[in-house]
Structure 1
Amino acid sequence: MNLNHVFVCGNPALDFAATLRARRSARFEMFVTPDRLNAWYLESGVVDMIVPGTEDGVEQATTVREAIYQLVTDRRLGGGFDAESLGVLNDAARKPPATPQLTATGRRTEATPEQALSSVARCAVELLSGPDVPLMKECGNPECTRVYIDRSRGMRRQWCGMDSCGNKIKAAAYRARKRTTTAPAAQ
């Protein structure tokens, strides 16, 4: 199952947190089935092969995802970490992660959903305790709640991605300018 997820955040943990879209408005859930969750693990490159998951695995993943989002928000806004979210993330990170293996054809990572989730949780631990914290920004699209790593020159990036949000905002601004400049002539 290929869902063509968008990976624009610069870190697997941030891309994972972004799988609940439009948190402030329409809230679109990407992980509605175990297959969709497993598709994300595969498409993200966290694993190369994953065993089928369960509904409990989806519930566990969404709980960890929400903890990651909360902790990223806490860190980005300069506050202390939410204790419950910290416990959820650390519990997931303590589990055995997906382990890459060297094969005759290269590297291959096979995992259970729990191992894949542990790998994502460990990415979050590394991100939130590492040098990229000052580079985290929330997308400038008011309807988007993705947080991304801004490695642009001068840290001037405004959107999580041009295809997903930047073009929408620029097109809307252009249409608004066009309406403003043509409105007086219509009178």
Structure 2
Amino acid sequence: MDHAFPCGNISLDFVGSLRARRDESPIEMLTSPARLDSWFAESGIVDAPTTSRPADVTAAMALREAIYDLVSARMAGKTYAKAALEVVNDAARKPSVVPQLTRGGRRTEATPAQALSTVARDAIAILGGPDAALLKECSRPGCTQTYLDTSRGGRREWCAMETCGNKMKAAAYRARKRDERLATAR
């Protein structure tokens, strides 16, 4: 897998395709039509190849940033920006991915616009529903992944334990051990 899906949520994982977005040099994962096609396949939106073009990558990046703007506004308790709403709603108006039954089983083919519509509709479901109150951003410095905190008590701090959680816990453990060594050396 080339892409990361720490949230288990299609639209929030799509937002994470621009990693470390507040760093001086964020890491762009959607660098070409082929990379966008691989994101669609790895996310499970489609199981048949898509044929994205450069214009589809541009549309995907615009949708991703619009979703991020709306999620950020929701987390900050601010009003949604009209431009971001228009981008998400325009994408959602297009037909979404529709699975088909074939003799060989389930098959999901889609155009890039249909795949993006599926992402936009998922974002609308989150932002327009009760899950919007569960939105958080990972607390690991450098990670800007957003996620839904469905943990008991709502105390989850990281987008995923396997990545950011382990890094933060390992750093805390090393800091405790260093402090213990310094305390015994005195």
TM-score range, shorter chain: over 0.9
Partner of 1:15 in structure 2?
13
5 Å-filtered alignment, 1:27-42, equals 27-42=26-41
Give the C-alpha shift of residue 154 in structure 1.
Answer: 1.8
5 Å-filtered alignment, 1:3-152, equals 3=2, 5-25=3-23, 26-152=25-151
Percent identity over the alignment is 54
Give the C-alpha shift of residue 183 in structure 1.
Answer: 2.0
TM-score, structure 2 as length reference: 0.93
CA distance, structure 2, for counterparts of residue 90 and residue 31 of structure 1: 21
Question: Which residue type is aligned with residue 121 of structure 1?
Answer: A
CA distance, structure 2, for counterparts of residue 75 and residue 106 of structure 1: 40
CA-based RMSD: 1.4
Structure 1 unaligned residues grouped into runs of 5+: none
Please give the per-residue CA displacement for 1:142-161, whole angstroms capped at 9, x wherever unaligned: 21111111111222211100
CA distance, structure 1, for counterparts of residue 102 and residue 130 of structure 2: 33
Structure 2 unaligned residues grouped into runs of 5+: none
Partner of 1:176 in structure 2?
175
Secondary structure of 2:139's match?
Answer: coil
CA distance, structure 1, for counterparts of residue 9 and residue 77 of structure 2: 20
CA contact (8 A) 1:50 1:113 kept: no
CA distance, structure 2, for counterparts of residue 51 and residue 20 of structure 1: 21
CA distance, structure 1, for counterparts of residue 104 and residue 69 of structure 2: 40
